[in-house]
Structure 1
Amino acid sequence: MIAFVGLGNPGKEYEKTRHNVGFMTIDELSKKWDIPLNQSKFHGQFGTGFVSGQKVLLVKPLTYMNLSGECVRPLMDYYDIPLEHLKVIYDDLDLPTGRIRLRTKGSAGGHNGIKSLIQHLGSPEFDRFRIGIGRPQNGMKVVDYVLGRFSEEEQPDIASAIQASVEACEAALTKPFLEVMNDFNKKV
């Protein structure tokens, strides 16, 4: 089984915010793969299905971003998913808005959701789909920025990035992740 986890915050007030691009991507995968997120357990909303001959788990932790590991670790244990089958989708301040970047491992880079995952999983070695949200301008606080919604001008770039992330997730079902990473990281 391959687990795709989108990081974000639950609740209407956080829908379509920069910090929720992981949730948005999981929602798109859910539609495209016809895997409803109709199960709740371990502080998460999730669904399972088969895509390209692979059993897939789609997950949206409902613990709030900073506690994402509290959902993901128990789900991985419950479904006996090895770390190399975990794919995490999340926002990244260090990438320009609309850019995606895939990585096989690394530090949390200041992202509290990733920090929680590393802490609960005991390892930073899991595949990542980073979606650029850019940095705040004009002295805006980071917390206000990530919890804010995309501007009208940013929306086409984010829609394209989410679509590219969906395509990368699909590719990760049938190709080695390093190959997928090389294919998608060179796209601009």
Structure 2
Amino acid sequence: MATDTWLVVGLGNPGDRYARNRHNVGQMVVDELAARLGTGFSRHARANARVAEGRTAPGGPKLVLAKSNGYMNTSGGPVSQLADYYGVDDDHVIVVHDELDLPFDRLKLKQGGGHGGHNGLRDIISALGGGDFLRVRVGIGRPPGRQDPAEFVLRDFAAAERETLPILVQEAADAVELIATEGLTAAQLRVHTSA
């Protein structure tokens, strides 16, 4: 398998209607990574996704950045197809996603685990046959009062959150690069101790 290649999937829903939603923060992060690599997304021939490819530095690991063309709850098929196409094992798949169980502006990195009610993760676990991939969990906080979580994640970030959102997106992109260049444990030490 391609040991220096990492498949980095930013979860979200397609189209302008969802682009600024909390649920699309994963796609915001892969957009930031594509900008850093100086590359853009294009339709992939073998998967229902848009991809961008580049290296973190000359001779550094290759990042295949991906955004599904389908909705969040159908993310698994494209992830599985891309992992097969690029010859990437689950331990070189990084899924960047919104996380209700973390306060806004917090990041947590982990490998493996369940879906925690997240439909995108549920579909990826099903398609890959397990949950042993890596996750960059981007905190979006819990909905206020009795608001339905499904409604909350499909709302844009609040005005106060939008002020610090670019920093959160940059930090999540930094975390992806750290995982690819230094490994998960080193990335966790850096990210979790700075929180």
Normalising by structure 1, we get a TM-score of: 0.96
Name the residue aligned to 1:116: 123
Structure 2's unaligned 5+ residue stretches are none
Name the residue aligned to 1:4: 8
SS in 1 for 2:13: coil
SS in 1 for 2:159: coil
Per-residue deviation at 1:93? 0.3
Letter paired with 2:70: T
Q: What is the rounded CA distance, in whole Å, between the counterparts of 2:108 and 2:141 in structure 1?
A: 13
Task: State which of 40, 44, 54 in structure 2 corresponds to 1:49.
Answer: 54
Name the residue aligned to 1:22: 26
SS in 2 for 1:14: coil
Aligned: 1:167 with 2:174 = yes
Per-residue deviation at 1:144? 1.3
Alignment of 1:1-188 (within 5 A): 1-41=5-45, 42-52=47-57, 53-188=60-195
Q: Is the 8 A contact 1:25 1:162 kept in 2?
A: yes
Q: Which moved more, 1:12-21 or 1:48-57?
A: 48-57
SS in 1 for 2:173: helix
Letter paired with 1:3: L
Normalising by structure 2, we get a TM-score of: 0.92
Structure 1's unaligned 5+ residue stretches are none
- Alpha-carbon RMSD across the aligned residues, in angstroms, is 1.1
Q: Is the 8 A contact 2:178 2:186 kept in 1?
A: no
What percent of counterpart residues are identical? 35
